[in-house]
Amino acid sequence: FTGSAFGSAAIWQYESLKSRVQTYFEGARADWMDKMRPQKRGDLRKQVNSWWNNLTEGQRTVTGIIAANVFVFCLWRLPGMRRIMFTYFTSNPSSRALCSPMLLSTFSHFSLFHMAANMYVLWSFSSSIVSLLGCEQFIAVYLSAGVISTFVSYVAKMATGRFEPSLGA
């Protein structure tokens, strides 16, 4: 998984750089068109765009991760989703589904405090790590760390004989 994550991140990083270069040259050619286009209306949209554009690349990257974690947290609150959530979003070495929970449990939190603390810590160091690694490599590290820590959890549960499901990486 880790090899695939970093390989995919390298391809994504290359394509992103290629796209930025193409956009730069197309933007230089089309600058005069922007002056002729009518401006879009909507204060909310402008405020959201302004907020989003003021975020660092790391904060934008982590915003997506936080959104995924909040979405999964909300799914835990739906009674009809409990069975699916326990099957795929908790890690348990005695479960019939072993691989997908290794990744999906990375986004799973049952306690609001646990999720808020984890997301705060992630937000606090995101800018420096993403500026060091790039957003693609950061996401590969995040996902790989989640899968590896779940695997270590599986090994620890097998060694101690405790087979209860757990959340998170």
The DSSP result for 114-162, as a single string, is HHHHHHHHHHHHHHHHHHHH-HHHHHHHHHHHHHHHHHHHHHHHHHHT-
From the list 164, 64, 57, 51, the residue with the least C-alpha distance to 107 is 64
Task: Note the pLDDT of residue 81.
Answer: 92
From the list 111, 101, 109, 114, the residue with the least C-alpha distance to 147 is 101
Task: Note the pLDDT of residue 52.
Answer: 83
Q: Does position 155 have pLDDT exceeding 70, yes or no?
A: yes
Give the residue, 94 or 142, on which the prediction is more confident. 142
Residue extents of the structural domains in the chain: 1-36
Tell me which amino acid residue 1 is. Answer: F
d(C-alpha 103, C-alpha 65), whole Å: 13
Percent of the chain exceeding pLDDT 70 equals: 88
Cβ atoms of 107 and 72 within 8 Å: the answer is yes
pLDDT tens-digit map of 28-85 = 555 555 555 555 566 777 788 888 888 888 888 899 999 999 999 999 999 999 999 8
Which residue has 């879009």 as its token pair?
40
Q: Does position 109 have pLDDT exceeding 80, yes or no?
A: yes
Tell me which DSSP letter residue 110 carries: S
User: What's the mean per-residue pLDDT of the chain?
Assistant: 84
Task: Note the pLDDT of residue 21.
Answer: 82
The radius of gyration computed from the CA coordinates of the chain, to the nearest angstrom, equals 20
pLDDT tens-digit map of 111-146 = 899 899 989 998 898 888 888 888 899 999 999 999
Percent of the chain exceeding pLDDT 90 equals: 21
From the list 141, 36, 166, 147, the residue with the least C-alpha distance to 91 is 166
